[in-house]
Amino acid sequence: MEINSKIYVAGHKGLVGSAILRALVNKGFKNLVYHSSSELDLRDRQQVLAFFEEERIDYVFLAAAKVGGIAANNDYPADFIRDNLLIQTNVIDAAYQTDVSKLLFLGSTCIYPKFAPQPLKEEYLLTGELEPTNQPYAIAKIAGINMCQSYNRQYGTKFISVMPTNMYGPNDNFDLKSSHVLPALLRKFHEAKESNSKTVEVWGSGNPKREFLHSDDLADACLFLMAHYEDGEIVNIGVGHDISIKELAELIKSVVGYEGGIAFNPSIPDGTPRKLVDVTKINALGWQAKISLEDGLKAVYAEFRKEYQTIA
């Protein structure tokens, strides 16, 4: 990307998109395009194509998606598969129709089979059954990957797909009904501390293991890959190590300064037992994550405390 290239960040208000936008601004890119969903409905094919035809964009970071935790995926499966298929289909096709130089599609590690060997290598895609709790979302993301690869093969486009592990960072979703595990626990422990509650309920057994990547690290990786990677095969982005949900709860308890107990609720499904990505490929290309989980949590909690009244 040249410093004056026109760059479109789809989903710029979300956790990932806002981090990519920050990274671009910090590196001096000024010709940036972004619109809220109220200004541009990416589910509307005509709106999307008209937008691309008018703007004549050079590079696209496709971070727009409908996302959520186990509860949201379970309650709104039709919304997750429909909205994500529409968003990515419209943006990818419009990028092709208007000769975009390069597009980066943000997938998710939920694309991998539920019981795939650990750590998850890129070649494990489509080798087994998916985790049922987020299958509609995963199928939509797999379709996006295949769409990018198919356009590359048929039309000669340069569309790449990256698979980030579990994300956290500024602009995360702290809604207890629809958020992922880390922001949900951060809010639970904060509210328990404020109300002097004796215990905090944590969904599931606490045994599943998860890997957590700060959104600023992901954004750095995305800019790196946009500059240095053109292969159609997917690339994992992660830190290369994981912790159990129990360990995460204890760490968040410490960061928040909560002194009560933790009660696990095994009646809530655990989801995938483990989801650690193999980062050999991206490390070999020359990129590694820099932000430790404890440092990242401290920064996110400091921001959460400032914004808590508006979040609540």
Angle between helices 15-26 and 215-228 (to 10 degrees): 60
> Are 14 and 63 contacting, i.e. CB atoms less than 8 angstroms apart?
yes
Q: What was the pLDDT predicted at 312?
A: 57
Q: What are the structure tokens assigned to 135, written together?
A: 């299958």
Residue in the structure block whose two tokens are 């626990």: 185
Alpha-carbon distance 299 to 184, whole Å? 16
User: Are 53 and 9 a contacting pair, CB within 8 Å?
Assistant: no
What tens digit of pLDDT does each residue of 158-187 get?
Answer: 999 999 999 999 888 888 877 788 999 999
pLDDT of residue 294: 96
225-247 b/e (C-beta count within 10 Å ≥ 16 → b): bbeebeebebbbbbbbebbebbe
Q: Which domains, from first to last, does the chain contain?
A: 7-171+212-240+276-291 (3.40.50.720)
Residue 277: the pLDDT is 96
Any idea which residue has 């998606």 for tokens? 65
Q: Which residue blocks in the chain are alpha helix, DSSP H?
A: 15-26, 45-55, 70-75, 77-97, 135-155, 181-195, 215-228, 245-256, 280-285, 293-311
| CB burial string 273-287: b at 16+ within 10 A, e below | ebbbbbbebbeeeeb
Q: Which residues are annotated as a binding site for substrate?
A: 188, 203, 210, 270
Rounded Cα distance between 82 and 86, Å, is 6
- Binding residues for NADP(+) are 11-17, 106-109, 141, 180
- Helix H or strand E segment including 159: strand 159-164
Which residue of the set 34, 59, 137, 168 is catalytic? 137
- Judge whether 168 and 215 are in contact, CB under 8 Å: yes
137 belongs to the catalytic site: yes
Helix axes 181-195, 245-256, angle to 10 degrees: 40
Q: Copy the structure tokens of residue 273.
A: 């037992």
Q: DSSP class of residue 66?
A: -
Residue numbers belonging to the annotated binding site: 11-17, 106-109, 141, 180, 188, 203, 210, 270
Measured CA to CA, the distance from residue 305 to residue 311 in angstroms comes to 10
pLDDT of residue 116: 92
Contact 57, 95 (CB under 8 A): yes
Residue 175 pLDDT? 83
pLDDT confidence of residue 16: 95
Rounded distance between C-alpha atoms, residue 54 and residue 47, angstroms? 11
- What gap in Å lies between CA 60 and CA 184, rounded to an integer? 30
Task: Report yes or no on whether pTM surpasses 0.85.
Answer: yes
Residue 56 one-letter amino acid: R
| Residue segments in the chain with a per-residue pLDDT below the cut of 70 | 309-312
